[in-house]
Structure 1
Amino acid sequence: MDDDKETAELKQCMEIIPNEEEVTIDVIPLAVKSPRIVDWKIHKKGKKSYYQIIRADRKSQMYRIFSQMIKSFDREDLEDLYKLVKARYGSTKPVENMDYLLWNDMKIMFEAHVEDEVWKLQNRYKVLEWKLYDSYGVQFLRMQSMQIYMLVEKKYPLTPPTLLMMLEKKLQIDYESEMAYQLYKLIIKQLKK
């Protein structure tokens, strides 16, 4: 009985927005799955810069911004790219603007530290959007002057005001999932501390 009541309360905190652009596939045959990511480069075309993601079969794909890239990745792709970025910039910060943005997004996602600037600034900004990408376990938080990508299973130094704004905004999901419920429970637990 309590589980049904809790589930009903959690459903009120979610907004299901089916993504008609994407087709969800639970199982991808190995023959169809793209090879692993082996490198990335910044490709410039005129005044525009693109991330060029290179796979083991030497095929590549261009992405203008990180959010486009992440929507076409799976969890393995994210982890591969993170390892490559960490290997290249483990002890130094990138100089190129696009490389810095990629390094920063990946660092926040995989190695969040309380001292990171993004966590210090979060109370200055209003939460505009909160989404869950269930297929690869990433939540996306868009605030007035920043975007944060976070792994669902990790705890991040989000402040109570930010957590409350997230709950007020409602979590945008493509479909109901256990991951969405677990994420809500984790946030409510953090607020009760």
Structure 2
Amino acid sequence: MRIIPEEDIEIKAIPLVAKPPVIIEYKIVMERKISTYHITRADGSTRRYTSMINLLENINREDLETIWKIVKDKYGNTRPEEGYERVLWGDLKVMFEPDIESEVWRQLQGHGVTIWKLFSLCGVHFVRFKNLHIFLVVDKVYPLTPVIIKMMLERKLQADQWNEMCYQLLKLMMKQLRKQ
């Protein structure tokens, strides 16, 4: 048996999970009558997403918060005039800065829930009603009425895989329902 000095041993670390470079910019680009989100990362790579749902299926929570920061830095609390910019700003504002007095919550009344889906990667759940939709961060409490929560629970939560986040979301909805 031969003893090798410590300084002669080379260890190459292999990361188990590579963290994607930080998002530095977003653009909404019109391509053949379809608006797409172009997300650019610090390494220069750009990905296109055809919808908010497509975006949420492919980014993590940190990326989502970065996009919100970029949008907020660009517009502040002033609602943009442009169509898709306004939609993105509105969806993110409701997600991260829910205003109890907002018209959004009153508009939900009287609409049936058609889909309730969880995007585990970014920690957002999506509720589609007959005529509108809303994106909600899993760990925030929103001013949802008992009627809406019951409709969500009756529709059943859709998720790519059942995990702890699914159970925590269901627990939060049940707690909110009992509280009201």
TM-score normalized by structure 2? 0.85
Which protein is bigger by CA-based radius of gyration? 2
Partner of 1:29: 17
Partner of 2:47: 61
Cα displacement (A) at 1:64: 2.1
In the superposition, relative to structure 1, how do residues 38 and 167 fare at CA in structure 2: closer, same or farther (>3 Å)? Answer: same
Query: Which SS does the other structure have where 2:116 is aligned?
Result: strand
Query: Which SS does the other structure have where 1:123 is aligned?
Result: coil
- List runs of 5+ in structure 1 lacking aligned partners: 1-26
Between 171-180 and 99-108, the greater mean CA deviation after superposition: 171-180
Between 106-115 and 54-63, the greater mean CA deviation after superposition: 54-63
Cα displacement (A) at 1:134: 2.0
Partner of 2:111: 125
Question: Which structure carries more helix by proportion?
Answer: 1
Query: Which SS does the other structure have where 1:155 is aligned?
Result: coil
In the superposition, relative to structure 1, how do residues 74 and 28 fare at CA in structure 2: closer, same or farther (>3 Å)? Answer: farther
- List runs of 5+ in structure 2 lacking aligned partners: 1-14
Cα displacement (A) at 1:49: 2.1
Partner of 2:83: 97
Task: Return the alpha-carbon distance in structure 2 between the equivalents of residues 106 and 126 of structure 1.
Answer: 22
Between 170-179 and 105-114, the greater mean CA deviation after superposition: 170-179
Instruction: Tell me if the contact between 1:114 and 1:120 (Cα under 8 Å) persists in the aligned partners.
Output: no
In the superposition, relative to structure 1, how do residues 72 and 28 fare at CA in structure 2: closer, same or farther (>3 Å)? Answer: farther
Task: Return the alpha-carbon distance in structure 1 between the equivalents of residues 41 and 69 of structure 2.
Answer: 14
TM-score normalized by structure 1? 0.80
Structure 1 segments of 4+ aligned residues over 3 angstroms from their partners: none
In the superposition, relative to structure 1, how do residues 51 and 169 fare at CA in structure 2: closer, same or farther (>3 Å)? Answer: same
RMSD of aligned Cα (Å) = 1.6
Between 1 and 2, higher relative CO (CA 8 Å, sep ≥ 6) is seen in 1
Q: Percent of aligned positions with the same letter in both sequences?
A: 44
The one-letter amino acid of 1:176's match is W
Query: How many residues are aligned here?
Result: 165
Task: Return the alpha-carbon distance in structure 2 between the equivalents of residues 135 and 96 of structure 1.
Answer: 29
Cα displacement (A) at 1:28: 5.9
Partner of 1:190: 176
Task: Return the alpha-carbon distance in structure 1 between the equivalents of residues 37 and 116 of structure 2.
Answer: 24
Cα displacement (A) at 1:46: 3.8
Instruction: Tell me if the contact between 2:57 and 2:121 (Cα under 8 Å) persists in the aligned partners.
Output: no
